[in-house]
Chains A and B, each alone.
Chain A
Amino acid sequence: MDTDEDVITQYLEGDPQALKILIDRYTPILYNFTARFTGTFHAADVVQDVFIKAWKSIGKFNASKARFKTWIFAIARNTIIDHLRKKRSLVFSDIQNDDTDSFDESIADESPLPDEMLEKLEDKTFLNGMIAKLPADYQTVLLMYYGEDMTFAEIGEVLSKPLNTVKSHHRRAVQKLRAMMS
C-alpha cells in the first residue's frame, strides 16, 4: 500500500484518483475523532470541512516537516475548535499550559487497580464515557496516542504544545480516569 505522502505526490502530479484514496483512508478516522467532540449530528459536516481545508492547502504540505496524519489531524483539531466556538461550547484551550512538569511526574502511576475497577474497564462503552468527561486536550492526547498510534512528539505538533506538556496531559488524563472510577 502506498504511503500517504506517495498518494499526495500522485495527486499533485495530476492523478485525480489519489485524492479518493486519501479521503477513503481518513474519513473513518477523522469521523471517529470529530464525533467525540462535536457529536455525530455535526461530525459529517466538520469532516467535510476538514477535507476541503486540506485540499485547498495540500500544495503547502511538506512531507519532510510532518507526516500527513499529523498535518490533517492539526487541521481537524482547528476545524473542531472553530465549530465549537461557533456553537459557544467547550474549547480546547481551556486547559492551562503546564510546561513546567518534571520528568518524574510524567512517569506513569504504577499503583495497582482495584478488581472492581478493572471489571468496569472491560466495558469499552463505560471507559469511553469516562474519557468523554475529560478536558478536550486530554481526550485528544489519549485518542491519538492509544487510538492512532501517534507519538507524543506528533501529538505535540497537532496541539501546538511542547513534548513535556503532552506527556503531562497524558499522565493527568490517566490520573483523572483513575480518580473518576475510584
Chain B
Amino acid sequence: MPPVYNNSMEEKLEIALKEPLYYPDAGLSDHILFRIVSRQKKLTVINRSINLGATLLSLGFSILIIESLTSQFSQTGFYQYMSLLFSDTQAVTLYWKEFLFSLVDALPATTLVLCLGSLLLILIFGRRTISGWRGSLRAA
C-alpha cells in the first residue's frame, strides 16, 4: 500500500529521495559480475584439487592398508580357520560357537575398520571429483 502523507515535508522527501542522488559508473555491474565469476572459478579449481588430492591420498592409504590387512589375516590364522569351514564342516557344525569365537578373534579389527574407512573416503571424494569434472564438461 503506498504511504499516505499528511504534510508537505513528507511529499518533498519522497520527491527528493525517489530519484537517485548518486549513479554508479557504467561498468560497475560488469566488474562485480567479473569478480564473482573469477572467485567462483578459483573456488571450483580449489575444490577440485582438494577432492582429487583426497581421492588419491585415500587410494594410496587403502592400498597400504589392504596390504597390511592381507598379511595380518595370514598371521592371525584367519585363513586356516576359514579353510576349516570347507574341509571339516562336521566339526565346525558341532563346535560352531567356539569356531565363531576363534574366527572373530582372528579378525584384525582395527585394520579392517581403517580399510573400510579409507574405501568410504575413496567413494566420497571420488564421487565429488567425478561430478566436478562432469559439471565442467557440461559448462563447456
Residues of A bordering B, CB below 8 Å: 16, 19-20, 23-24, 27-29, 31-32, 35-36, 40, 43-44, 47-48, 51-52, 55, 108-113, 118, 121-122, 124, 127-128, 131, 142-143, 145-147, 149, 174, 177-178
Contact = CB atoms under 8 A, between A and B. Distances in A.
Interface of B: 2-3, 5-10, 12-25, 28-29, 31-33, 35-37, 39
A128 B20 CA distance: 10
Nearest to B2: A149
A31 B24 CA distance: 6
A147 B17 CA distance: 5
Contact of A28 (B13, B23, B39): B23
Given A121-B8, A127-B12, A147 B18 contact: yes
A32 B32 contact: no
Nearest to A34: B22
A131 B22 CA distance: 14
Nearest to A25: B29
| A16, A27, A52, A177: residue with the most chain B Cβ atoms closer than 10 Å | A27
A31 B22 contact: yes
Contacts of B24: 27-28, 31, 43-44, 47
| A112, A142, A178: residue with the most chain B Cβ atoms closer than 10 Å | A142
Contact of B8 (A24, A40, A113): A113
A124 B7 CA distance: 17
Contact of B6 (A27, A40, A108): A108
